[in-house]
Structure 1
Amino acid sequence: MNDDPDDLTVPELQRRLAEFAAARDWQQYHTPKNLASALTVEAGELLEIFQWLTPEQAAAVMDAEGTAHRVRDEVADVLAYLLQLCTVLEVDPLRALAEKIVRNEQRFPAP
């Protein structure tokens, strides 16, 4: 098992998440609907950190370890559920993003 974040790959993270769920018999709950719902909840928890902050406070949120830790945890939760959803739906997240960037570049050309 590779724990060095600099060496992790998306497929390796997806495998580790699948193994974690399997060891706890959670795959039965990892339906597309449930994972999309959980992803939304976690994104909401990330938003909650910023909810009442001014733009200046929001820009400085990573300066305080307490809020920085919360942000990192919520980002990790959002990413974990997104990767699990991609696994269940057999979507390659990097390919999907690359293809979307190309479509956006065509749709919104630079001036």
Structure 2
Amino acid sequence: MKAVKDDEVTVGSLKDAVARFIRERGWERFHNPKNLAESICIESSELLENFQWVTTDESETYSEDGGRLRSVSSELADVIIYCLAFANVLNIDVAHSVTLKLRECEGRYPKLDFYGRPPNLSKIRKA
């Protein structure tokens, strides 16, 4: 698959590419919800490892550091690939799920109440 930009591809086409990659290698039998959920966590930890022992300020310079950005980008891609494989196995419509969740969060965290500050658990409204 050739490298493309975010605005040149759909979630569906990425899901298809991941499914094709897995199918071409005969890995379907290993890709069950449990294994994929574990893999998502493992790859997320590898992404997090890039930020171990650095300050918040240092982490904010990663977009300017080619080596670190490549490493973070690669680990993020691993997480997303496993998430898409997970969605494929469980027939989850990713775009639908994300938009529903955003709508839920809009109700839970109204912008007027939460603008510029992190959520305060005592003020969370039930959606």
- Answer yes or no: same fold by TM over 0.5: yes
Aligned to 1:43: 44
Report the CA distance between 1:4 and its aligned residue: 3.0
Give 1:84's aligned amino acid: A
Higher relative contact order (CA 8 A, sep 6+): 1
Secondary structure at the residue paired with 2:82? Answer: helix
Aligned to 2:100: 99
Q: How does 1:45-84 map to 2 (within 5 A)?
A: 45-84=46-85
Aligned to 1:87: 88
Note the residue ranges of structure 2 that are not aligned, 5 or more in a row. Answer: 114-127
Secondary structure at the residue paired with 2:110? Answer: coil
Secondary structure at the residue paired with 1:80? Answer: helix
Flag the 1:3–1:73 CA change in 2: closer, same or farther, 3 A: closer
Counterpart Cα distance in 1 of 2:69 and 2:106: 32
Secondary structure at the residue paired with 2:99? Answer: helix
Counterpart Cα distance in 1 of 2:36 and 2:61: 31
Flag the 1:61–1:2 CA change in 2: closer, same or farther, 3 A: closer
Report the CA distance between 1:43 and its aligned residue: 0.5
Corresponding residue pairs, total: 111
Q: Is the 8 A contact 1:43 1:74 kept in 2?
A: yes
TM-score (norm 1): 0.93
- The answer to whether residue 4 in structure 2 is matched with residue 4 in structure 1 is yes
Note the residue ranges of structure 1 that are not aligned, 5 or more in a row. Answer: none
Aligned to 2:121: none
Alignment RMSD (CA, Å): 1.4
Counterpart Cα distance in 1 of 2:82 and 2:38: 9
Counterpart Cα distance in 1 of 2:106 and 2:72: 30
After superposition, what is the alpha-carbon deviation per residue over 1:35-81, rounded to whole angstroms, capped at 9, x for unaligned? Answer: 11001011000000001101110100121111111011011001100
**Higher alpha-carbon deviation: 43-52 or 1-10:** 1-10
Structure possessing the higher radius of gyration over alpha carbons: 2
More helix by share: 1
Give 1:52's aligned amino acid: W
TM-score (norm 2): 0.82
